[in-house]
Amino acid sequence: MAGIFKIKRLQMSVTPTVPNIVCLICVLTLKFISSVSSQCSGSALTLTATDDLTTVTSDGYSSGSYANDLSCSWLIDSGSSSETVIIFITHYDIDASDTIDIYDGFSTSNSSLKSGLTGTGNDKEFLTTGQYALVVLTTDSSGQAQGFSLQYLKAADLSGTGCTAEQTITATSTEQYLTSPAFPSSYTGNSNCRWLIEATEGTVYFELLLSDIESSPNCGFDYLKIYDSSYVCEHTLTVDACTRYPDGTTATYTSNGTSVLLLFVSDATVGFKGFKLKFSAVSSTTTVSTQTAASEETGFALGMGVGVATGVVSTLLVIGIIQIIKSRLQASKLGSPRVRNVLPLQTPTSFGGKTPTQNGHLPNGHFLKNGDIPGNQRFSVTSSISSSGNSSRNGRTPSTGHSSPVHSDTQNRNNNNYKRNGVLPTNIGHV
């Protein structure tokens, strides 16, 4: 029974219940914290510097205070004897009885870069002469303060030949680096450097990691300019840097074409660290796929917008056409003369005592046509009647061949056979 009980207890102890998982996480967390904080327990914490800026803070910095009686140390390794270490202390708050010491090497026996740093401040930079840098924080049992925050990176002069003549560099998928002349030492005066970075295919991606250049209005003294092209053009200027660290310009950018042009110029006076830039080639496949996805979304949105706009315009156009037609119809009704009722024409029953026969023929071979009246009894609605009874119709003279001048109204009234306006006397009939 005892054996069985022990087996059951063993099984229960390894069952992955929630409390057991929580306890395991707590143990791992404590172990991780102890390893990270080991720099304050007698051995230095080794940090490997890279080409990018890395930040490290003292214990308790985020909570606002470090502990008493500490001796913390950080060993920063560039990884190569040909590369040095740059350290920027971005902020420090150290009690008067506590200190920060920085050594140019891997032990306290090496020469000191900074000894007994205390108080409050920022913008402190240090450069090693070799591969290592050692940072030590020592506190006593009395006062406390926030601590420090610093950034570091490995450094070497990667300016190439661009400061003697324009240098063309081929960008590949592997990351490469470019620096100002003499980096990480202060750049030389009267520098005039020019680099053309080209990708065999695709575009060029670059990241300005560090910029520590003399500040001046409109970058009139020293500057770094980067153009999105192979030549100098203000329309393609993407970076114009002339600011001191830690306020120096940083940027990431992908070119539109296959090349970017960099210019670095300095005057004859003071110099600073300069710049460090990372670049690589971005394949056209990646760029095209990204742009295609974006263009599809943009095209859908654009299509929706155009469709809605087209529908609205079409509706307004139809409404406008309808309004125009209605207004034209109303105008035509208002402008049209009123039409009076006209009595139908009646066939004349007699013309001078002569009655038409069938088919409009009159006796003696006369023919009634287009309002004509036989013999000298013809008339015209629009013509004046002559005193002799002959009339002029449509500019033509009667069959007698004589012209028919226009007569006065008095003569028309004296005419016994016809009336004005073509109305026949009663004995002739109505037209």
In this prediction, residue 321 carries a pLDDT of 83
Distances (CA, A) of 101 to 137, 145, 400: 7, 16, 142
Per DSSP, what are the bridge partners of residue 262?
A: 195, 226
- Mean pLDDT, range 128-140, rounded to an integer: 96
Tokens 């924080």 belong to 137
Angstrom distance (rounded) from CA 203 to CA 291: 13
- Mean pLDDT, range 63-88, rounded to an integer: 95
Contact indicator for 210, 273 with CB cutoff of 8 Å: yes
The phi, psi pair for 234, rounded to 5°, reads -60, -30
Contact indicator for 383, 419 with CB cutoff of 8 Å: no
In this prediction, residue 304 carries a pLDDT of 61
Mean pLDDT lowest among 14-18, 50-54, 187-191, 369-373: 14-18
In this prediction, residue 12 carries a pLDDT of 33
Question: Which of 81 and 423 is assigned the larger pLDDT?
Answer: 81
In this prediction, residue 412 carries a pLDDT of 47
Q: Is the pLDDT at 57 greater than 60, yes or no?
A: yes
Q: Is the pLDDT at 31 greater than 90, yes or no?
A: no
- Mean pLDDT, range 409-423, rounded to an integer: 47
In this prediction, residue 30 carries a pLDDT of 36
In this prediction, residue 356 carries a pLDDT of 52
In this prediction, residue 284 carries a pLDDT of 67
Q: Name every residue whose Cβ is closer than 8 Å to that of residue 68 and which is 6 or more positions away in sequence.
A: 139, 140, 141, 142, 144
Model confidence over 391-413: pLDDT tens digits? 444 444 444 444 444 444 444 44
Q: Is the pLDDT at 53 greater than 50, yes or no?
A: yes
- Mean pLDDT, range 359-363, rounded to an integer: 50
Angstrom distance (rounded) from CA 114 to CA 120: 15
- Mean pLDDT, range 55-67, rounded to an integer: 94
Confidence of residue 124 (pLDDT cuts 50, 70, 90): confident
Looking only at the bridges linking them, the beta strands covering 192-199 and 119-121 are unpaired
Q: What percent of the chain has pLDDT over 90?
A: 51
Tokens 């026969």 belong to 357
Tokens 């913390």 belong to 72
Q: Is the pLDDT at 349 greater than 70, yes or no?
A: no
Model confidence over 173-201: pLDDT tens digits? 999 999 999 999 999 999 999 999 999 88
Q: Is the pLDDT at 160 greater than 80, yes or no?
A: yes
Question: Which of 297 and 9 is assigned the larger pLDDT?
Answer: 297
Angstrom distance (rounded) from CA 197 to CA 172: 10
